[in-house]
Chains A and B, each alone.
Chain A
Amino acid sequence: MAFFTEYLADPSTQRELLSQTAEHIYLTAVPVLIAVILGLGLGITAHRSPQLRSPILSVVSTFLTIPSLALFALLIPIVGIGATPAIIALTLYALLPIVRNTVSGLFSVDRAVVESAKGMGMSATMRLWKIELPNAWPVMLAGVRVATLLTVGIAAIAALVGGPGLGQEIFTGIRRIPAAGSLESLLGGTVAIVLLAILFDLLYLAIGRLTIPRGIRE
């Protein structure tokens, strides 16, 4: 382990890893945020409309079956290299867990609860915002969490299309194998990604604590 601590002790490595981590956070947060906005709309639509449900779910599932390397590369002719193809591809990947959990979250709301809301004179919009979404929220949040962890991992591939993030450190290492220091880079990038994933997970735990109403907490 001595070789790795030496690598970490180098100030230039530290600076490098820190800035790449910041980039990686950006590369995760932006696609997840876009996917939440899109996924919420798609999920609500799929829940409301039986006709649109299966097309929507099929399309978002298909995205996830495209190999990530291929999807990143396919986007280069359209949007060029750098962060943009990465953000687009990661958004598409993040959609499935969010849409799927939004749909199943909304279906998990007790029908009697929705019916009594209707019976008291709440409009469809009010029912959605005041009753259905708050009660579906724990399941929806779990979907966002899975989407985030998925994105943290896949975002490493972005380096291959000239994207930012911790993937750069990993691929620097891979390219230089078996030169000295290659293993350190590979390991450094990977460990940083794992740590980042754990931090995101803790963040979601905190968000859950703060936003899930006490009445429906486990």
Chain B
Amino acid sequence: MSNATSPETEIASLGEETPPGQTMIELKDLTKRFPGQETPAVDRLNLEIPKGEIVVFVGPSGCGKTTSLKMINRIIEPSSGNIIMDGQDVTSIDPNQLRRRIGYVIQQIGLFPHIRVGDNVATVPNLLGWDRERTTARVDELLDVVGLPPDQYRERFPKELSGGQRQRVGVARALAADPPVLLMDEPFGAIDPITRTRLQNEFLRLQSELQKTICFVTHDIDEAIKMGDRIAILREGSRVAQFATPEEILTNPANEFVEDFVGTGATLKRLKLTRVREVEPTEALVGTVDEDRAELRRRFDESEWTAMLLLDEQRRPLQWLRGTDLRSSRPLTEVGLRARATVEEQATLSDALEEMLLGAAGVAIVVDRRGAYQGLLDVDDIITAIQTMRDATAEFYRAAKLVDPEAEAGA
């Protein structure tokens, strides 16, 4: 900590130089040899990570993806090669200063068990010497952002949280000083599937607002397809088998390795590429609890529908009501079928399909982030979406083949 000011100012502007879409992180011949190992764990990795995108490193275990990620914030020091961040070589600057500008989320989360949630989130702001008020305000803001009401969670200890809540705190802590770059090492790996899907969707929604540059490591190709704007499929020694958009990897795998790794069912995987919000939902017959029952019955009888979706005062789905339910004398909230199978707009069609298959009604109810009803999605909608996707990509590749690549490059 000899000259605390110079490295601080040196990288304080990290991310402000580069316009969106331009390369934010460039890895140049990045290599890691561990002592006592013959082959390097990471062998001359070259990769350009565009600003504001999620780039997923995916590959079989032992391929060096985690080592590659941990070299970016120099938790693992590279043996050779360079890391250029925002046009600046950060390979040999003070690692502690560098790390305060890079959010870091790991699978085991690593919350500090001896301090409260709020203090955990405040870690980097405290290191950066923010004043108390600014830090407190920021902590509350972030807990809110990750869906943990600050009044309820700020004073808790990590052991008093569930796995999913801990992961949310981990994300809030990584975002605390608003770093332009985020490194995530299997962040949702240790969480049950249902919570994982929810956290993934929430994170994508967050990212659409924050536009951070994110490196994301996973061994799960499905997660890679869902989360990545771009995917780097890595094979042993962190050699890049293909670096492309999920769409392209699924429709046009570069080699056999990628094909094998992506595995069968590429069409089904593409359901993970389309979000519910990209599909026009069907309108259902709805009624709210504060409406008159006779009025509800009238609307039901006039319609072609076999069931009506009952919403609460905040327009959140409650029950599916059939004709007999509407005519019975019991309170509406006690009759009918509980409305399950809700999906957020941020969820993928694959999530929606899964909900449909699980739910009894065979449809998924689309809700917004507050849980309010938006529309319905059924199996037909999903089949139509698949059809459209296929037509669109077929069109794209037909067009691509018609253009002479040489002439295109020269122009």
Q: How far is the CA of A213 from the CA of B159 in the complex (A)?
A: 12
Residues of chain B at interface, number, CB under 8 A: 31
Closest residue on chain A to residue B170 by CB atoms: A116
Q: Is the CB of B113 within 8 A of A216?
A: yes
Residues of chain A at interface, number, CB under 8 A: 21
- Which A-B residue pairs are the 6 nearest by beta carbons? A116-B110, A215-B157, A119-B104, A112-B108, A121-B100, A121-B99
Residues 109-137 of chain A, each 1 if its beta carbon lies under 8 Å from chain B, else 0: 01011111111111100100001001100
Is B242 among interface residues, defined by CB-CB distance under 8 A? no
Q: How far is the CA of A117 from the CA of B104 in the complex (A)?
A: 10
The interface residues of chain A lying within 8 Å CB-to-CB of B123 are 117, 120, 122
Could you tell me the distance in whole angstroms from the C-beta of B91 to the nearest C-beta in chain A?
17
Could you tell me the distance in whole angstroms from the C-beta of A123 to the nearest C-beta in chain B?
5
Q: How far is the CA of A110 from the CA of B159 in the complex (A)?
A: 13
With contact pairs A113-B113, A215-B115 given, residues A121 and B106 touching in the complex (Cβ less than 8 Å): no
User: Which of A112, A215, A216 has the most B CB atoms < 10 Å from its CB?
Assistant: A215
Q: How far is the CA of A215 from the CA of B106 in the complex (A)?
A: 21
Is B98 among interface residues, defined by CB-CB distance under 8 A? yes
Q: How far is the CA of A216 from the CA of B95 in the complex (A)?
A: 30
Could you tell me the distance in whole angstroms from the C-beta of B126 to the nearest C-beta in chain A?
10
The interface residues of chain A lying within 8 Å CB-to-CB of B73 are 119
Q: How far is the CA of A113 from the CA of B170 in the complex (A)?
A: 11
Residue in contact with B104 in the complex, picked from A113, A116, A213, CB distance below 8 Å: A116
Q: How far is the CA of A215 from the CA of B98 in the complex (A)?
A: 30
Is A175 among interface residues, defined by CB-CB distance under 8 A? no
The interface residues of chain A lying within 8 Å CB-to-CB of B102 are 119
The interface residues of chain B lying within 8 Å CB-to-CB of A122 are 96, 123, 127
Q: Is the CB of A117 within 8 A of B96?
A: no
Is A15 among interface residues, defined by CB-CB distance under 8 A? no
Is B52 among interface residues, defined by CB-CB distance under 8 A? no
Q: Is the CB of A119 within 8 A of B75?
A: yes
Could you tell me the distance in whole angstroms from the C-beta of A130 to the nearest C-beta in chain B?
8
B residues contacting A by CB (< 8 A) are: 1, 73, 75, 95-100, 102, 104, 106-116, 123-124, 127, 157-159, 170, 173, 183
8 contacts between A and B (CB under 8 A): A115-B75, A116-B110, A119-B73, A120-B124, A121-B99, A122-B96, A123-B1, A216-B113
Residue in contact with B124 in the complex, picked from A110, A112, A121, CB distance below 8 Å: A121
Q: Is the CB of A121 within 8 A of B112?
A: no
The interface residues of chain B lying within 8 Å CB-to-CB of A213 are 114-115
Given contacts A112-B107, A121-B124, 16 further A-B contacts (CB under 8 A): A112-B109, A113-B112, A113-B113, A114-B110, A116-B109, A116-B112, A117-B123, A119-B73, A119-B102, A120-B99, A120-B127, A121-B97, A122-B96, A131-B112, A215-B115, A215-B116
The interface residues of chain A lying within 8 Å CB-to-CB of B104 are 116, 119-120
Q: How far is the CA of A119 from the CA of B123 in the complex (A)?
A: 11
Q: Which of A118-165 contact B (CB under 8 A)?
A: 118-123, 126, 131, 134-135
Q: Which of A75-120 contact B (CB under 8 A)?
A: 110, 112-120
Could you tell me the distance in whole angstroms from the C-beta of A178 to the nearest C-beta in chain B?
57
Residue in contact with B158 in the complex, picked from A115, A118, A123, A215, CB distance below 8 Å: A215
Q: Is the CB of A110 within 8 A of B157?
A: no
Q: Is the CB of B106 within 8 A of A115?
A: yes
Residue in contact with B96 in the complex, picked from A112, A113, A121, CB distance below 8 Å: A121
Q: How far is the CA of A112 from the CA of B111 in the complex (A)?
A: 8
Could you tell me the distance in whole angstroms from the C-beta of B360 to the nearest C-beta in chain A?
41
Could you tell me the distance in whole angstroms from the C-beta of B111 to the nearest C-beta in chain A?
7
With contact pairs A120-B123, A215-B114 given, residues A112 and B106 touching in the complex (Cβ less than 8 Å): yes
With contact pairs A119-B104, A213-B115 given, residues A113 and B110 touching in the complex (Cβ less than 8 Å): yes
Q: Is the CB of A119 within 8 A of B115?
A: no
Q: Is the CB of A110 within 8 A of B108?
A: yes
The interface residues of chain B lying within 8 Å CB-to-CB of A134 are 114
Residue in contact with A121 in the complex, picked from B108, B127, B157, CB distance below 8 Å: B127
Could you tell me the distance in whole angstroms from the C-beta of A135 to the nearest C-beta in chain B?
6
The interface residues of chain B lying within 8 Å CB-to-CB of A126 are 127
Q: How far is the CA of A119 from the CA of B99 in the complex (A)?
A: 6
Could you tell me the distance in whole angstroms from the C-beta of A217 to the nearest C-beta in chain B?
9
Q: How far is the CA of A110 from the CA of B97 in the complex (A)?
A: 24
Could you tell me the distance in whole angstroms from the C-beta of A142 to the nearest C-beta in chain B?
16
Q: How far is the CA of A117 from the CA of B123 in the complex (A)?
A: 9
Q: How far is the CA of A135 from the CA of B95 in the complex (A)?
A: 24
The interface residues of chain B lying within 8 Å CB-to-CB of A114 are 110
The interface residues of chain B lying within 8 Å CB-to-CB of A117 are 110, 112, 123
Q: How far is the CA of A49 from the CA of B106 in the complex (A)?
A: 26
The interface residues of chain A lying within 8 Å CB-to-CB of B127 are 120-122, 126
Q: Is the CB of B114 within 8 A of A110?
A: no
With contact pairs A121-B96, A215-B159 given, residues A112 and B110 touching in the complex (Cβ less than 8 Å): yes
Closest residue on chain A to residue B101 by CB atoms: A121
Q: How far is the CA of A113 from the CA of B98 in the complex (A)?
A: 19
Could you tell me the distance in whole angstroms from the C-beta of A140 to the nearest C-beta in chain B?
13
The interface residues of chain A lying within 8 Å CB-to-CB of B108 are 110, 112
With contact pairs A134-B114, A135-B114, A216-B113 given, residues A118 and B75 touching in the complex (Cβ less than 8 Å): yes
Q: Is the CB of A120 within 8 A of B100?
A: yes
Could you tell me the distance in whole angstroms from the C-beta of B327 to the nearest C-beta in chain A?
56
Could you tell me the distance in whole angstroms from the C-beta of B170 to the nearest C-beta in chain A?
8
Q: How far is the CA of A135 from the CA of B328 in the complex (A)?
A: 61
Could you tell me the distance in whole angstroms from the C-beta of A97 to the nearest C-beta in chain B?
23
